[in-house]
């Protein structure tokens, strides 16, 4: 990434450049410079800042993903048909969708260093700063009825959880339906967007976002209690390429298994990694609040919640109002 602040600081390597001088040279306010510095920090650049002297670039520039290396590592997986890497995009989902409409085959993978408008579920923005996150969208073309699409979300969560556990050794769990958590905070989100014809899936874009090397200060203050990165949890920098490969490795094992044997094996795996099971939850659904204890998944991908009156309710989509971390496992 060539950024005017980086270029200016590189011209004065090792020296401080005042905020005032940067703002004059770049023709923007000092506040704008400070905001850009924060963005660059999130992208992996490191600065020393002094009230009197200004800013100085320290350490190595962040390592960028290299298409050649990615292709080299992914070529052993026959599922992977094409890999495209972008510097900065609004959302990898949009690009994958366009490619799918243009007949891109299943196994087309879109990656971006940065998303300026990363999409989360329920219309939320997903934070994907340059250099420190993984933003990936994959074209899938399973020959399945549309109603099976939620199963793919859960399958992707299982593959990602397995991959990241194997890579980092961290105690990562799945918060229903498909957020990955560590230390009670979100590290990853999955967004599946399906297009159908006559109630059968035409294609699904599997969007995976992972906070890999973000530091505490890279998150807006209001997110610090709810989101974290692999680097914060592990206490060391994590190789983003290894993160990508770890997901693809497990996804390409589980996806054919699912297409062959159905959702049964995935349910068991998902349940073994879920953080919410057997703990009291309070869920906000479109039909109102559901309180109870999740006891498993059903074939449809819905969460089965046992309520105080002994009845069970299938919840398809909800927001958790009471997190699993706040409540003990009621079996113990």
Provide the binding-site residues for ligand BTN, judged by CB under 6 A. 91-93, 115, 118-121, 124, 126, 128, 135-137, 179, 189-191, 207-209
CB of 296 to ligand BTN, least distance (A): 23
Which residue, 153 or 252, has its beta carbon nearer to ligand BTN? 153
Q: How many CB atoms lie within 10 A of CB 96?
A: 26
Which residue, 137 or 252, has its beta carbon nearer to ligand BTN? 137
CB of 191 to ligand BTN, least distance (A): 4
| DSSP class of 131 | T
Which residue, 124 or 200, has its beta carbon nearer to ligand BTN? 124
CB of 40 to ligand BTN, least distance (A): 21
Which residue, 47 or 108, has its beta carbon nearer to ligand BTN? 108
3-state SS track over 100-112: HHCCCCCCEEEEE
In the complex, residue closest to ligand BTN by CB = 189
- Provide the β-strand partners of residue 288: 285
Which residue, 24 or 88, has its beta carbon nearer to ligand BTN? 88
d(CA 8, CA 289): 54
Which residue, 62 or 211, has its beta carbon nearer to ligand BTN? 211
Number of helical (H) and strand (E) elements in the chain, helices listed first: 9, 14
CB of 187 to ligand BTN, least distance (A): 10
CB of 189 to ligand BTN, least distance (A): 2
CB of 66 to ligand BTN, least distance (A): 19
d(CA 199, CA 145): 6
Tokens linked to 35: 């905001």
- Provide the β-strand partners of residue 259: none
Q: Please, where are the H alpha helices in the chain?
A: 4-11, 19-26, 30-42, 67-74, 92-101, 149-168, 230-234, 240-261, 264-273
Report yes or no: 115 and 137 within 8 Å, Cβ to Cβ: no
């Amino acid at each position: 990434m060539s950024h005017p602040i980086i270029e200016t600081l590189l011209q004065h390597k090792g020296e401080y450049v005042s905020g005032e001088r940067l703002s004059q040279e770049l023709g923007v306010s000092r506040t704008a410079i400070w905001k850009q510095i924060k963005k660059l920090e999130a992208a992996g650049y490191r600065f020393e800042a002094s009230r009197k002297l200004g800013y100085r670039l320290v350490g190595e520039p962040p390592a960028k993903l290299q298409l050649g290396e990615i292709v080299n590592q992914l070529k052993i997986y026959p599922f992977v048909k094409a890999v495209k890497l972008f510097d900065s995009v609004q959302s990898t989902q949009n690009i994958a969708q366009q490619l799918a409409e243009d007949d891109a085959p299943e196994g087309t993978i879109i990656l971006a260093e940065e998303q300026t408008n990363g999409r989360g579920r329920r219309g939320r923005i997903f934070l994907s700063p340059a250099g420190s996150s993984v933003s990936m969208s994959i074209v899938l073309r399973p020959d399945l009825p549309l109603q099976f699409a939620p199963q793919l979300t859960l399958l992707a969560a299982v593959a990602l959880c397995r991959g990241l556990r194997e890579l980092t050794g961290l105690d990562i769990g799945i918060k229903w339906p498909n957020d990955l958590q560590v230390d009670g905070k979100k590290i990853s989100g999955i967004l599946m967007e399906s297009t159908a014809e006559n109630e059968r899936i035409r294609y699904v874009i599997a969007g995976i976002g992972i906070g890999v090397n973000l530091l505490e200060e890279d998150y807006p203050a209001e997110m610090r209690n709810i989101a974290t990165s692999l680097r914060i949890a592990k206490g060391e920098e994590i190789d983003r390429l290894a993160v990508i490969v770890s997901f693809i490795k497990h996804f390409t094992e589980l996806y054919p298994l699912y297409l062959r044997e159905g959702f049964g094996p995935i349910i068991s795996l998902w349940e073994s990694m879920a953080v919410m099971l057997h703990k009291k939850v309070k869920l906000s659904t479109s039909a109102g609040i559901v309180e109870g204890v999740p006891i498993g998944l059903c074939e449809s991908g819905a969460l089965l919640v046992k309520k105080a009156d002994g009845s069970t309710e299938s919840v398809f989509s909800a927001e958790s109002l009471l997190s699993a971390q706040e409540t003990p496992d009621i079996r113990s």
